[in-house]
Homo-oligomer: A and B are copies of this chain.
Amino acid sequence: MGTSANAAAGGRGNPVDKGVDYAQYFCTYAFLYHQKEMLSDRVRMDAYFNAIFENKHHFNGKTVLDVGTGSGILAIWSAQAGARKVYAVEATKMSEHARSLVRANNLQNIVEVIEGSMEEITLPEKVDVIISEWMGYFLLRESMFDSVICARDRWLKPTGVMYPSHARMWMAPIRTGIGDHKMGDYQSAMDDWHNFVDETKTYYGVDMSTLTKPFSEEQRKYYLQTSLWSNLHPHQVIGTAAIIKEIDCLTATVNDIEKVRSKFSLSITMDNMLCGFGGWFDVHFRGRGEDPAEQEIELTTAPSVDCGTHWGQQVFLLHPPTHVNEGDNLTISFLMSRSKENHRLMEVELGCEIQQHSGKLLAPSKHKYYIE
């Protein structure tokens, strides 16, 4: 969605207008229903719960900052794990519910809920731990990690630890029936458009054919080029998965993540139709070198039968699908950058070159996607 002003663009050199950022992004987090959806994600909850309670040495008697506390859950667990003081920062009016929840669980002497953005609020002291559940679809959608970096640079002690400590983006080749549906939807939309143009000329004397090209581009973007949420079954993964990006949460800068540029190989492990690519992420709770976790915890959003999460995976469709064989190799060039109109949304340029197991190299293809 375009905006008439650059105000919503965001990014380091171009601060986002607060009201616009609220209307476009923050507002959904002010709903209890949305918080409940995330709190009902058992894989997510178990990972953070275990990361904290199996590593109490990081929390006991320590100071903690929860970036984007939402309902306050991570702050409450941190306090229950023995923290001396927890600062729970939340940009939306959800902070009022967090405050109420803290009090109902008798932790108001430890957990201080602060309403405001990480970029604006001040704390009375630096902290030993920054904990945050900041991950969006495919890890970086929402660009919330920027706020965690800001928090870290301003408020983490030199000896402090990040929870999670590491994050990775992954991609694998997949098969899916969704592509055919979306192509059908696109073609229906175009058929309908052509009828519409005819009727508008016939009944209303206005020739709309000049809009056919922009309409088809708009529909193409919507149906074919916008990444889709899906809960992929492992059987849909038809080749090896590769790491696109690795992030050390203690040292990463906004510059490191503003553009994600990578070249990697994927091997096909079964004869099948290559319908597109699935993207997901994992995070780890490892503490830091000098102060490691006693129990390393992993939170993964890889395709799974039983352990699906509310993040699902992001599906990037190929039109048309292409037949591939076991042993074929895909060389993928990947570039993800932030949308000019909204820094919390992404654009992806993906190049794909298939080398068949015979050695024959097929013509490379280039694809543009939007993570909306």
**A contact residues vs B (CB 8 Å cutoff):** 1-5, 7-8, 17-20, 22-24, 26-27, 30-33, 36, 39-40, 45, 49, 71, 73, 76-77, 80, 91-93, 97, 100-101, 103-105, 189, 193, 196, 200, 203-211, 214-215, 218-219, 222
Contacts and interface: CB of A to CB of B under 8 A. Distances in A.
A218 B5 contact: no
A3 B19 contact: yes
Contact of A93 (B2, B45, B103): B2
A76 B189 CA distance: 25
Contacts of A209: 104
B17 A19 contact: yes
A77 B19 contact: no
Given A22-B3, A24-B23, A196-B40, A214 B32 contact: yes
Interface of A (DSSP majority class): helix
22 contacts: A1-B23, A4-B22, A4-B92, A7-B18, A17-B17, A20-B20, A23-B24, A33-B189, A33-B215, A33-B218, A33-B222, A40-B196, A49-B203, A71-B208, A73-B204, A76-B206, A77-B205, A97-B214, A100-B211, A101-B206, A101-B208, A104-B207
Contacts of A31: 218
Nearest to A18: B5
Contact of A101 (B4, B73, B211): B211
Given A40-B196, A205-B80, A211-B71, A219 B33 contact: yes
Contacts of A100: 210-211, 214
Contact of A49 (B45, B49, B204): B204
Contacts of A49: 203-204
